[in-house]
Amino acid sequence: MSTGKLYVVGVGPGHHDHMTFRAKEVIEQSQIIVGYDTYVTLVEDLIEGKEVFRYPMTQEVDRANQAIQFAEDGKIVSLVSSGDPGIYGMVGLIYEILAEKGWTKNHGIEVECVPGVSSLNSCSALIGSPLMTDFAVVSMSDLLVPWEIIVKRVEAAALGDFVTVVYNPSSKKRIHQLKDARDIFLRHRSPNTPVAIIKGAFRESQSIVITDLERMLDYPDLMGMITTIIIGNSSSYNYNDLMINPRGYRSKYQLVK
């Protein structure tokens, strides 16, 4: 069995005060750091003196393979991922590659997924209590998933009255997707349905707007790959610049005593 170890580390949400103790610990233990440049920058002060390999966006397969190779060579490696490596993160790709290589837990490198604070958690904490009941999460990125499939998922979330978290709402090349998704929601929900737009949660670039379904496209400057949108359901409401999604206690209890 290889003596190397690969940590797939969630460094989210992006501020050290909210990074998990385990994430900091394994980064400190690692000899080599591999990751997308933006995520490596988030932990810059934790990786001084280590070998660091930065990658641009869209080179996920290359950096995953390099991290695996370093671990197979006996190194202790941290592959830094975004908020949580198991939610649109790198751990899925790592296991896909290892499965193709015939890796097993007993005869291969040791792999540990170190969970982080996902975008849906960090963003919801900033804007009230939007995820108190069942919710769906959908990415607008159609680089790896056909747009026709994403449309079906958006339609199902809208029809099912799920609070819906939208990841990767737009990019320079992805223009129509968010508008199409908004139009689907408008077929099933009121134009006044609360919507929160959160850019760069817990980072220096943090910016938050509470709006509604009718006006959610009025903020193009906030849209991008580090933006998350939360669309309320039929019970959600805005109060003092917060989005509240009732859990259902009012139907059983007197709330104010």
pLDDT of residue 254: 80
103's CB contacts (< 8 A; 6+ apart) are 109
pLDDT of residue 1: 53
**CA distances for 69 relative to 30, 66, 127, 130, angstroms:** 15, 5, 41, 42
pLDDT of residue 2: 60
| Mean pLDDT for the chain overall | 93
Mean of the pLDDT values across residues 171-176? 85
65's CB contacts (< 8 A; 6+ apart) are 97
| Confidence tier at 176 by pLDDT (50, 70, 90) | very high
Q: Say which residue, 179 or 44, is predicted with more confidence.
A: 179
Q: Where do the H-state alpha helices sit in the chain? A: 21-29, 37-42, 60-72, 91-100, 119-126, 147-159, 177-186
How far apart are alpha carbons 194 and 196 in whole angstroms?
7
pLDDT of residue 192: 97
pLDDT of residue 78: 97
Mean of the pLDDT values across residues 108-136? 96
Q: Which helix (H) or strand (E) holds 217?
A: none
| Confidence tier at 12 by pLDDT (50, 70, 90) | confident
How far apart are alpha carbons 113 and 134 in whole angstroms?
26
Say whether pLDDT at 251 is over 80: no
- Cβ(145)–Cβ(88) below 8 Å: no
How far apart are alpha carbons 46 and 29 in whole angstroms?
10
List phi, psi (to 5°) of 229: -115, 135
pLDDT of residue 13: 87
* Three-state DSSP class for residue 23: helix
Q: How deeply is 196 buried, as exposed, middle or buried, from its count of CB atoms within 10 A (0-12, 13-18, 19+)?
A: buried
pLDDT of residue 173: 82
Whole-model pTM: value is: 0.92
pLDDT of residue 87: 93
pLDDT of residue 6: 98
| Per-residue pLDDT tens over the stretch 237-248 | 999 999 999 987
- Cβ(5)–Cβ(71) below 8 Å: yes
| Per-residue pLDDT tens over the stretch 214-239 | 999 999 999 988 899 999 999 999 99
pLDDT of residue 57: 81
| Confidence tier at 104 by pLDDT (50, 70, 90) | very high
Quote the percentage of the chain above a pLDDT of 70: 99
| Out of 14-18, 84-88, 157-161, 189-193, least confident range | 14-18
Catalytic residue positions, numbered: 37, 50
pLDDT of residue 25: 95
